[in-house]
Amino acid sequence: MTSQAVKIGICGLGTVGSGTFKVLRRNAEAISARAQADIDIALVGARRDNPDCPLGDTPVSRDIFAVARDPQVQVLVELIGGTTVAKELVEEALANGKHVVTANKALIAEFGNELFALAEQHGVVIRYEAAVAGGIPIIKALREGLAGNRVEWLAGIINGTGNFILSEMRDKGRDFAEVLTEAQALGYAEADPTFDVEGIDAAHKLVILASLAFGMPLQFSSVYTEGIARVTPDDVEYAEELGYRIKHLGVAKQGDEGVELRVHPTLIPEARLLANVNGVKNAVLVEGDAVGPTLYYGAGAGAEPTASAVVADIVDLARELSAGQVCRVPALGFATARLKDLPVLPMEAVVTPWYLRMEAEDKPGVLSSITSIFSEHGISIEALIQKAPAAGETRVPLIMLTNAAAQGNMDEAVATIEALDSVSGEVARIRVEDLDG
Ligand SMILES: NC(=O)c1ccc[n+]([C@@H]2O[C@H](COP(=O)([O-])OP(=O)(O)OC[C@H]3O[C@@H](n4cnc5c(N)ncnc54)[C@H](OP(=O)(O)O)[C@@H]3O)[C@@H](O)[C@H]2O)c1
């Protein structure tokens, strides 16, 4: 390459760090042609060697902060994860005038507002394509490709582990705990799977997507988050009977009363493309007023898929640095001064159709007492499945699909039904989304 090389420093040599190093090396020629500059890995910060990723003669420091302080490093690539040391590292890099590329969704979702402000203050940028849906270029799509649209809503399968578990439950009729153990053995789920199965990881990603889509500051604490642990094989089967699949969705919608930000198990009509995204794959469906629905699908995690997104950010920055100026696409796509503090709708006011499952006595009058409670709350039943009682059993499962009802209304109706002597235990509830773009 003729122009000067752009010097980067990579911090963290784990899954994504080593993937990034390998992709930069393997595709160096094409990458430098696209970046219009060579990418020189000036320093790697790693507290130990990674036997899967020999570094050759690339300089290494055991102190990752040495990368943030190295005067020759122009772009620090943060791939250590977490929100403590990674935050300090990014702050130091920004303060030292370095651009930052990160794959760290927790850091961006929870501290993005302050880090973007710090970056602006120091005249540098933070790029984070890999933080949402791994290798899928969804950040660039929302920030640039869809810039002409008012985004009405988006819905995404943005946690591969959760999707793998639900796909296995459906395909093999297995229960949640059993599939989770297998996902851990296969390396899809962490030893502590809380972030994945309780929806926290998806909430991190959803809040980033919503801010990019609607032009609002990141509001991680406002996301409603419900995991998949309570979905049973029966729910998966009954959903099929009704023509639906259960997916763990992140949903963001822009309405007149406020923005909906929610992560929860969801019934989707089986004909929708999103209903057919299986295994560890991710997908995001975005509805723009001009373009209509667009769907982005691919690998949401893994060393090289994630590296693909990290390298895309590096190329963007290198291209700009070699041209002598960094084109400052605002961190959230909208001019910072024009971000709007849109109100987030309380969940009681969120309106969706519902799937309900309950155990009720199999005797005359029970069904009508249940349906009359729903109608008193303005909720009508769109579909009903009543199973025959098992031998010697007097109770039967009742499965219902309702029309659209506000959660607050549904809460009241369900509390009344749960208090009936003829109904035992809790009424299981899962929201339904039509996703008809
Ligand atoms: N894995 C994926 O598929 C994926 C997908 C999208 C985004 N991400 C994000 O990418 C980031 C990295 O994930 P990963 O999967 O590559 O993690 P990982 O395999 O655990 O690698 C993290 C690396 O950072 C190092 N590290 C952690 N804390 C450190 C500290 N305090 N000082 C120095 N080094 C430290 C670790 O060193 P040791 O080996 O010595 O512990 C390890 O080499 C995370 O933010 C993650 O959310 C990952």
Give the tens place of pLDDT for each residue, 316-329. Answer: 999 989 887 766 78
158 Cα to the center of ligand 1, angstroms: 19
CB atoms within 10 A of CB 186: 11
- With the most atoms of ligand 1 within 8 angstroms of its CB, the residue from 79, 194, 280 to mutate is 79
286 Cα to the center of ligand 1, angstroms: 29
Min mean pLDDT across 159-168, 190-199, 212-221, 347-356 is at 190-199
What's 139-299's CATH class? alpha beta
Check pocket membership of 66 for ligand 1, CB cut-off 6 A: no
Confidence of residue 3 (pLDDT cuts 50, 70, 90): low
Q: What are the tens digits of pLDDT across the range 227-253?
A: 999 999 999 999 999 999 999 999 999
281 counts as catalytic: no
Q: What is the DSSP string of 390-415?
A: PTT--EEEEEEEE--EEHHHHHHHHH
The CATH number corresponding to 348-432 among 3.40.50.80, 2.30.110.10, 1.20.1600.10, 3.30.70.260 equals: 3.30.70.260
Above 60 in pLDDT, residue 1? no
Pairing verdict, β 423-432 and 259-269: parallel
Report whether 85 contacts 61 (CB < 8 A). no
80 Cα to the center of ligand 1, angstroms: 4
Residue with CA closest to ligand 1 atom 44 = 81
Superfamily of segment(s) 6-135+303-338: NAD(P)-binding Rossmann-like Domain (3.40.50.720)
Averaged over 192-203, what is the pLDDT? 93
For the annotated binding site, the residues are: 11-18, 105, 190
Domain ranges of the chain: 6-135+303-338, 139-299, 348-432
Check pocket membership of 299 for ligand 1, CB cut-off 6 A: no
Check pocket membership of 15 for ligand 1, CB cut-off 6 A: yes
- Helix segments in 188-302, DSSP class H: 194-197, 200-214, 233-241
**Mean of all residue pLDDT scores within the chain:** 95
Above 60 in pLDDT, residue 91? yes
Above 80 in pLDDT, residue 77? yes
- Rounded to an integer, what distance in angstroms lies between the CA atom of residue 181 and that of residue 186? 9
Above 80 in pLDDT, residue 2? no
Q: Which of 41, 101, 111 is nearest to 72 (CA)?
A: 41
Check pocket membership of 134 for ligand 1, CB cut-off 6 A: yes
Q: Which of 147, 106, 150, 356 is nearest to 253 (CA)?
A: 150
299 Cα to the center of ligand 1, angstroms: 18
Check pocket membership of 48 for ligand 1, CB cut-off 6 A: yes
> Given 205, 247, 253, 281, which residue is catalytic?
205
Sequence-ordered strand ranges (E) for 300-422 = 351-352, 354-361, 381-386, 395-402, 405-406
Contacts of 87-93 with C-beta under 8 Å, sequence gap 24+, read 87/111, 87/115, 89/11, 89/64, 89/65, 90/115, 90/126, 91/115, 91/118, 92/65, 92/68, 93/67, 93/68
Check pocket membership of 73 for ligand 1, CB cut-off 6 A: no
- With the most atoms of ligand 1 within 8 angstroms of its CB, the residue from 44, 47, 83, 282 to mutate is 47
Q: Which of 205, 219, 223 is nearest to 300 (CA)?
A: 205
101 Cα to the center of ligand 1, angstroms: 14
Q: What percent of the chain shows pLDDT beyond 70?
A: 99
- For ligand 1, what atom is nearest to the CA of residue 201? 47
Task: Check residue 322 and give its pLDDT.
Answer: 83
- Rounded to an integer, what distance in angstroms lies between the CA atom of residue 202 and that of residue 341? 22
Above 60 in pLDDT, residue 168? yes
Contacts of 55-61 with C-beta under 8 Å, sequence gap 24+, read 55/21, 58/21
Check pocket membership of 208 for ligand 1, CB cut-off 6 A: no
- Rounded to an integer, what distance in angstroms lies between the CA atom of residue 362 and that of residue 351? 31
Q: Please report which helix (H) or strand (E) contains residue 116, including its range.
A: helix 105-121
